[in-house]
Structure formats: structure tokens, C-alpha cells
Amino acid sequence: MSAIELPANYLDYPQRRYGMDHDRYDWSMLTDRKPVAWPGQARVALWVVPALEWFPLNMAGVPFKPPGAMQTAYPDLRHYTLRDYGNRVGIFRIMKALEKHGIRPSVAVNAAVAVRYPSLIRECTQRGWEIIANGLDMDHLHHAALPVEAEKKLIDTTLEILRSASGQAVRGWLSPAKSESAATLDLLGAAGLDYVCDWVNDDMPYAMRTASGALHAMPHPIDIDDYTILVQNHHTEDDFRDQLCDQFDLLYKESATQGGRVMAISLHPWVIGQPYRMRALEEALAHIMRHQGVWAATGSEILDAWKASQAA
């Protein structure tokens, strides 16, 4: 076989540097950044994010089926009704657990939930919960093959529904299944969003560039959420509790010398809202909240405090 001669510039790569091959944000080590001071000299900002999702019974699954999607032949009532359990029953157990500790979360909501269950949105807003846009529903994903105008319509429709239903500005966005296209961030910036929860590459907020100005990435990890641990990894409820406690303990330790940290907990009411699982969540919350210097806040409150601290 004869050797193939490569062009002289084959190994040239203009984006060869620290970080990713884009200009969305400036790459930096977390330990090298300016320390963050939370309100009241808090050490850890606790950010709880339940998700109110709607999975259509006849999911197209394009370009893939998101976590929690229907699994069997239509009609998959076994999985559909389990997901619906979260919106009918499980979420109210979560509300009770959070109220016990004075925690106001940011709830990620599919616009379809606001249309189908308007009373559920009222239950959230009356408790002072922040509404985060979680896309139209769990079968409308954002991806590279989606035309930009079609994606823009998805975002605009989602925000119009949720802003009207909640009476809030709706400053945060979580894409269904954290799926994005190359245009998503620019479209979110143009729609007036302040932060996005799709990127899981940091423990703290950071600024991202869009065509319409700054958009901020908020730390919304997937490896310690209830679906990942209990459903995907098949760990026990005690494992879930211990992993939340371990996550907090290290962040709390780091905050003693490195400035404020964010502890984000992602919850799915159809998962953690089961009666036999609630004990694990309640024990983890009790462990966290018994520490001095824990500030339970919404995503918008955390972002505003972070920006103020960086500007000081």
C-alpha cells in the first residue's frame, strides 16, 4: 500500500488552546477565579431544581429519546402514567419537604405542563418558586437538524406560555434532555434569557457569549440527580442520600478557603416523589440545612449575587 501524502497544513488548527473549540466563554480554572461572596457571608448556595415534565404518549423520539421517554409499543400507559404520577402526587411531597426547611426552588417546567395543569403552576408560584423554562415538552428536543426558525418558534412559544401562566419574567432555561443546536444559545440570548442550565462543565456560574450579549451558564449537574442515581445507575435510596451529602460536604469544605460554592440538586417528582424514596431526600436536606452558612436560593437570586460579587 502506498503512503498517502498529507498537505503541509494538515496539523494546523487555529483553535488549538486551553478550553473548547469555540468562543462562547473564556477558559479558566475554578481555583484561579475571584472568590464569590454570598449574601449573609453564606458559604454554599443551595439550589434545588425539581422538573415538571410532560412526555407525550406517542413520542416521535427525534433525534433521540430523552431520559424518561416512553419505552414500549404504543400506548405505553405503564410509563406514561408513572411520569404523570410525579405531577399529580410526587411534586406535592417535594413541596412539603422543601417547605419544612424554608427552601424556595427553581422549578423547570415544560410549557405543556402549564397548558395541561395550570393549577400546578399556581401551586408553585404561590409558594414563591421561580419558574425555569424547560422547553415545550419532552418530545421537542433542540438539535443540529432542527431549522433555526423552527427552534426559534419552540423557544418563543415556550416562553410566551410560561411567562403568561406564571406572571414571572422567566429568566432561566433548561433544554429538554439538555439538548442544544449550534444556534440555541444565540436564540436564548435574543429571547431575553439570563441563564441556561444545559452545560455541566463547572461548579459555579460563568458568562457565555451570544449574538445578543451575555448569557450565563448555571451549574446543574446530571450525575447527582435522582434519575441518574436511582433509575439509570440502579443505586439505592441510601446511596442517593449519601451522594448528596458527600457532594455538599466537599463543596462546604472548599468554601472555607476558596469562596462560595453552589450545591445544585435536580429532582424528578416521578422518581424521588415515591413514598419509599422521600426519606432519602428529607435526610439529605436535613444534613445540608443543619450546617451554618447555607443559603437556599433560586437560580436568579444566585446568579444576581454571583454577578454582584464579581463586579465588586
**What is the DSSP secondary-structure string of 220-238?**
--STTSHIIIIIIS---HH
Q: Which DSSP symbol is given to 274?
A: S
Give the bridge partners for 195, in sequence order: 172, 216
- Position 22 scores a pLDDT of 83
**DSSP SS3 for 148:** helix
Mean pLDDT by 10 residues, the chain (312 residues): 75 70 87 95 98 97 95 96 98 98 98 98 98 98 97 98 98 98 97 98 97 96 96 98 98 97 98 98 98 98 97 90
Closest CA to 190 of 226, 140, 163, 153: 153
Pairing mode, if any, of strands 213-217 and 206-210? antiparallel
Confidence (pLDDT) at 1: 52
**The whole model's pTM is what?**
0.93
Residue whose C-alpha is closest to residue 56's, from 27, 76, 26, 85:
76
Closest residue by Cα to residue 204 from 35, 48, 87: 35
Tell me how far apart the alpha carbons of residues 288 and 282 are, in angstroms, rounded to a whole number: 10
Write down how long the chain is.
312
> What per-residue confidence (pLDDT) applies to 21?
73
Domains located in the chain, CATH noted: 39-311 (3.20.20.370)
Query: Which pLDDT value is given to residue 15?
Result: 64
Look at residue 286 in the predicted model and tell me its pLDDT: 98
